[in-house]
């Protein structure tokens, strides 16, 4: 099986700061590092490091070929990444000592994908493959519709959150992954709690409280507690979780096992500075001792 990821690719410029800046505040950074990032790239790397076959569908500018090379080094199939005449997406990320972050995002090439690129890529998909996408590219609704037509498992990671974008793709989804704040915002817009959404499976991540899984058809839910670790950088933790969940499912793991493995991966991720470049591989996840 394969995972097809219609996903963003960014250069993450990470600034270490003594605290997150307030409105109008000028703040000197203590350090700067550049990482491969973007929610899509993070998920592709996470799924690849979780031993899945991942095919990334996306775009970079001519200034971003290094990011494509990096994805390839991490085991991601990059043949469906276009190089176009729009600057590569990038994020300016401020991280304070406790690990909390603040992000300014420029979409760039991520919002300039062509329908021809998407349809050509998915023409090679097979029933039972997984299609995942996020709210950092264009063509989300088109991808969701194609995924349903091709009998793929269609997964949406609802971030950065826009209620209208989520509602547009809900009818096509098999699995929706969102955090607690996003779930609350979606409920305000739709009047539906996570267990009542018209999606077969919903996962709500709860930060330090773990995650909750809803199987909407049966009405059953399960809570997964978080591992206790000292966080230094939470950037990319949710993407790591999502990548590991879909990789586990693609490899045939039952949902509870896929989530448990993803919880371990995300816990390890927050103890490291960086994004895609520091996502743990499957051996790390299996061997690391966590509380």
pLDDT of residue 274: 81
**C-alpha–C-alpha distance, residues 4 and 76, integer Å:** 10
Q: Is 216 helix (H, G, I), strand (E, B) or coil?
A: coil
Higher pLDDT, 168 or 276: 168
pLDDT at 291 over 80: no
What's the alpha-carbon Rg for the chain, to the nearest Å?
Answer: 18
User: CA separation (Å) from 261 to 47, 63, 229, 244?
Assistant: 12, 35, 16, 7
Q: Is the peptide bond before 154 cis (omega within 30 degrees of 0)?
A: no
Q: Catalytic one among 233, 239, 250, 277?
A: 239
Residue 139: CB atoms within 10 Å:
18
Q: Is 252 helix (H, G, I), strand (E, B) or coil?
A: coil
* DSSP classification of residue 74: T
At 168-215, the pLDDT tens digits run: 999 999 999 999 999 999 999 999 999 999 999 999 999 989 999 999
At 14-61, the pLDDT tens digits run: 899 999 999 999 999 999 988 898 999 999 999 999 999 999 999 999
- Please name the helix (run of DSSP H) or strand (run of DSSP E) that holds residue 268, with its range, or none: helix 255-269
From the centroid of its chain, how far is CA 250? 16
* 277 catalytic per annotation: no
Name the pTM for this structure.
0.91
């Amino acid at each position: 099986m394969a995972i097809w990821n219609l996903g963003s690719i960014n250069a993450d410029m990470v600034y270490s700061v003594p605290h997150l800046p307030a409105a109008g505040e000028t703040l000197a950074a203590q350090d700067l590092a550049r990482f491969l990032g973007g929610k899509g790239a993070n998920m592709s790397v996470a799924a690849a490091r979780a031993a899945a076959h991942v095919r990334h569908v996306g775009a970079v500018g001519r200034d971003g070929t290094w990011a494509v090379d990096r994805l390839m080094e991490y085991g991601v199939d990059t043949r469906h990444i276009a190089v176009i005449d729009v600057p590569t997406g990038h994020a300016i990320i401020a991280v304070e000592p406790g690990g909390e972050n603040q992000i300014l995002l420029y979409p760039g090439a991520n919002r300039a994908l062509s329908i021809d690129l998407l349809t050509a890529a998915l023409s090679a998909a097979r029933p039972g493959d997984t299609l995942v996408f996020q709210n950092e590219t264009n063509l989300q609704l088109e991808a969701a519709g194609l995924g349903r037509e091709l009998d793929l498992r269609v997964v949406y990671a609802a971030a950065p959150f826009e209620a209208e974008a989520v509602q547009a793709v809900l009818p096509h989804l098999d699995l929706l992954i969102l955090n607690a704040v996003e779930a609350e915002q979606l409920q305000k817009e739709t009047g539906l709690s996570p267990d009542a959404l018209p999606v077969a499976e919903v996962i709500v991540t709860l930060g330090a409280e773990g995650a909750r899984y809803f199987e909407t058809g049966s009405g059953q839910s399960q809570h997964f507690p978080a591992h206790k670790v000292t966080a230094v950088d939470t950037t990319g933790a949710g993407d790591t979780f999502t990548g590991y969940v879909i990789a586990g499912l693609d490899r045939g793991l039952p949902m509870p096992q896929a989530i448990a493995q993803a919880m371990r991966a995300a816990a390890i991720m927050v103890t490291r500075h960086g994004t895609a470049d520091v996502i743990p591989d499957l051996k790390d996840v299996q061997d690391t001792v966590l509380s």
